[in-house]
Structure 1
Amino acid sequence: MGRVPRNGRRSHYAEAITQRNGQGGREVSTTGTKRVYGGMSAEQRVAERRAKLIDAGLNLFGSGESAQVRVKDVVAEAGLTERYFYESFKDMAAFFDAVFECAADMIESQVNAVIVDAPEDGFARVSLALRTTVELLAADPRLIRLFFVEALGKGDRAGAHRNDILVRAAENFLHWSTVGTPSGGDGRDARLKAFAMSGATSELLIAWADGLIDVTPAELSDFLVGLYWRANLP
């Protein structure tokens, strides 16, 4: 079938969040005494609870019932109580931002790790980055809904994130196409192409997430790579 897969495997998302939030960090000292319980400092326990909440948020925002997500739903999914939600987040808007940022950082870090040894050729690097991004999204449909329905598409949170996502994606296109190459050339032209690719890629992924285009992940990757190639013809 060519539609977005709906039952992808779980990613190592929680582990990535824990690392991002300082799991294994320094011990916290209170009145001269290090508060360590079960081999974990107070700071480490806060980071662990935050990671559980964010992973719960991905499960909930990545589901079809995301518009109704409340604090009590998040803590129930995480196996915690409400006091621990407010330990790390002011409200649901701040929580969604944190879930989104962690997911975006995770994808970017995995893509950058894949292209680090790629040939010093902009087209080869961008092609690999696009294919890797689509593969990561296809492997975890929660991410597709989070980015391209909730943050970019028809979700209630779309407006606040749309410009940030497009700018972030454009900067990634610039980074992928120029890493390891000497500076020079028409920087303005490069930015125009990067923002054009950012907008086109985002709209295609939104349509894919909504089931408006019936293509496999491989077919979508091929089209995006071809689009980038045509945009860079002399």
Structure 2
Amino acid sequence: MSAEQRLADRRERLMSAAYTLYASLGFAATTIERLCAEARISNRAFYECFGSREELLQAVHSRCMEESLAVVSQALQEASDEGIDQQIRAGIEAYMAFATSDRRRARILHLEVRRSGHVLTNARQRGVEAFAQLIEDTMKDTAPSPRINPHLLALALIGAIQELLIEWVVNDPPPPVEQLAEVAVHIFHRAYLPAGDPA
């Protein structure tokens, strides 16, 4: 491999190691030495890829967020001709399924993002804003009330989904994902379709 390919390979191995260790041991308990042992690289090679454990965590979190946004955006697009109530369901079910399809992803996005302190504060905020904008764009023609700020409503709904997924992460056995999705759909319907359940 070329020097660039070796660097890319080491970076991916570190990303994979962090994905596992940050989600199992937690960010605070995961040392650079442990990451390097898991990735089978030297400590020196670590610093050729990332400046710190914090930078590596930010890279892992950003990848999880980008993948999640892509999955939800695709689901919303595919349901765009089926009515707003079906778009709500499609988007929520897509996110819930993707987040829980790999427990490591769910832990990083909804548990370690809080436990890591200030490390992911800005990254988390960017992710929340991106999802809030996606909700606002999707629901722009469905205003529950002129008194309700649409951005604040989107943020509140994101918070509800986050709490549902934390419940899934920290419990053994976890509540069924289908139940989480139904609760989230119910909340969204009540927020945007207050006249009653969609047909």
Q: The TM-score by the shorter chain falls in which range?
A: 0.7 to 0.9
Identify the residue that residue 161 of structure 1 maps to in structure 2.
120
Identify the residue that residue 196 of structure 1 maps to in structure 2.
156
Identify the residue that residue 9 of structure 1 maps to in structure 2.
none
- Select the structure with the greater relative contact order (CA < 8 A; seq sep ≥ 6): 1
Q: Retained in 2: the 8 A contact 1:100–1:147?
A: yes
Distance in 2 (CA, whole Å) between partners of 1:125 and 1:172 is 15
Per the TM alignment, residue 51 of structure 1 is displaced from its structure 2 partner at its CA by 1.1
Distance in 1 (CA, whole Å) between partners of 2:125 and 2:108 is 15
1:148 aligns with 2:107: no
Q: Retained in 2: the 8 A contact 1:56–1:78?
A: yes
One-letter amino acid of the counterpart of residue 71, structure 1 = I
Counting matched residue pairs gives 191
Identify the residue that residue 133 of structure 2 maps to in structure 1.
174
Distance in 1 (CA, whole Å) between partners of 2:150 and 2:172 is 30
Identify the residue that residue 99 of structure 2 maps to in structure 1.
137
Residue of 111, 114, 117 corresponding to 2:72: 111
Identify the residue that residue 83 of structure 1 maps to in structure 2.
44
Distance in 2 (CA, whole Å) between partners of 1:227 and 1:145 is 23
Q: What SS class does the counterpart of residue 74 from structure 2 fall into? A: helix
Per the TM alignment, residue 173 of structure 1 is displaced from its structure 2 partner at its CA by 4.0
Residue of 167, 175, 180 corresponding to 1:220: 180
1:102 aligns with 2:83: no
Q: Retained in 1: the 8 A contact 2:23–2:105?
A: yes
Q: Retained in 2: the 8 A contact 1:174–1:190?
A: no
Structure 2: 5+ residue runs without aligned partners? 195-199
Query: Higher helix proportion, which one?
Result: 2
Q: Retained in 1: the 8 A contact 2:167–2:174?
A: no
The range that moved more, 211-220 or 54-63, is 211-220
Q: What SS class does the counterpart of residue 193 from structure 2 fall into? A: coil
Q: What SS class does the counterpart of residue 116 from structure 1 fall into? A: helix
Structural mapping, 1:112-127, within 5 Å: 112-120=73-81, 121-127=83-89
Identity between Structure 1 and Structure 2 (%): 24
Cα RMSD between the aligned structures?
2.8
TM-score (norm 1): 0.70
Distance in 2 (CA, whole Å) between partners of 1:133 and 1:174 is 15
Identify the residue that residue 230 of structure 1 maps to in structure 2.
190
TM-score (norm 2): 0.81
Structure 1: 5+ residue runs without aligned partners? 1-36
